[in-house]
Amino acid sequence: MNMVGDVNGWTDSADAWIASIGDDGDWTRRTFLDAAMLARVQAHSGTFLDVGCGEGRFVRKLQELGFKGIGVDPVERLINVAQQRDPKGDYRIGVGEDLDFDDASFDLTISYLSLIDIEDFRTAIKEMTRVTKLGGSILVANLTGHFTAGKWERRAIGVGRRFEMDNYHEERATREQWQGIDILNWHRPQASYFEEFLSNGLILRHFSEPTPPDQSDPKSDRYTRVPGFLVMEWQK
């Protein structure tokens, strides 16, 4: 298995990520992303693979719903913490571009905000397709291309604050830093993702751009005025 040395900053940022995400997830996950993902998950049954599972939070949520599956992540520290928090769970070191599983192993393959961390996302999508059973699905939560191509102005949230976007069609890595985390995320236009899923013979069954339900929350402004996240389900 080919492993990336520093995993694009995630090895050094692992402890800061664990502290920031906690047991229940950050604000976006708790507020609306988990609900959007779990709504799609509950239409399925069988086994799952969580690609880029991190410290295992979403794997644990799936297990609470009665699903059986495996979480993989390239960062040893994150996998160790996932196993400590869930001793009976199955967590393994692995990369999305080289999944160490047989063809057609899982009913549901999940990428929950992990495609933006994978440099060779085209190979990762091929691999996720390969390990998914015929009739099964790949469920993806991702940042939108609009969001990764731009930045909010660095001033207070609210009316008058502007979002600036440029070079949307240029695929590139950007350095992101927050709460002690220092990593690389990849921007791609949405068409790049769609072309790869379609080229693998997958059928789009769901597409949504979830937003926070409580628009009175000041944090909601950031993810409502500009489409921040999307959820897609592709069937094999």
Pairing of strands 229-235, 132-143: antiparallel
- What whole-number distance in Å separates Cα of residue 112 and Cα of residue 212? 17
Residue 127 pLDDT > 80: yes
Q: Is 155 domain-assigned?
A: no
Q: Is 95 domain-assigned?
A: yes
Six token digits for residue 229: 């996240």
> For the whole model, what pTM was predicted?
0.94
pLDDT tens figures, 141-172 = 999 999 999 988 766 555 667 889 999 999 99
Mean pLDDT of 66-95: 97
Q: Is 164 domain-assigned?
A: no
Give the model's pLDDT for residue 151.
86
Q: Is 77 domain-assigned?
A: yes
Domain of 29: which CATH number?
Answer: 3.40.50.150
Mean pLDDT of 37-43: 95
Report the domain count for the chain: 1
pLDDT tens figures, 101-126 = 999 999 999 999 999 999 999 999 99
pLDDT band at 1 (very low <50, low <70, confident <90, very high): very low
Q: How many Cα atoms are found within 13 Å in the side-chain-facing hemisphere of 203?
A: 6
- What domain range includes position 15? 7-143+192-235
- What whole-number distance in Å separates Cα of residue 6 and Cα of residue 19? 19
Q: What percent of the chain has pLDDT over 90?
A: 83
Encode burial over 218-232: b for 16+ CB neighbours within 10 A, e otherwise: eebbbbeeebbbbbb
Residue 84 pLDDT > 60: yes
Residue 176 pLDDT > 50: yes
CA-atom Rg of the chain in angstroms: 17
Give the model's pLDDT for residue 230.
98
Burial of 187 (0-12, 13-18, 19+ CB in 10 A): buried
Say whether 106 sits in a helix, a strand or coil: strand
Strand order in the sheet with 68-73: 90-93, 68-73, 47-51, 106-112, 132-143, 229-235, 203-208
Mean pLDDT, rounded, of the chain: 93
Q: Which stretch, 20-24, 83-87, 214-218, has highest mean pLDDT?
A: 83-87
Q: Is 88 domain-assigned?
A: yes
Q: Is 187 domain-assigned?
A: no
Task: Decide: 188 and 119 in contact? Cβ < 8 Å.
Answer: no
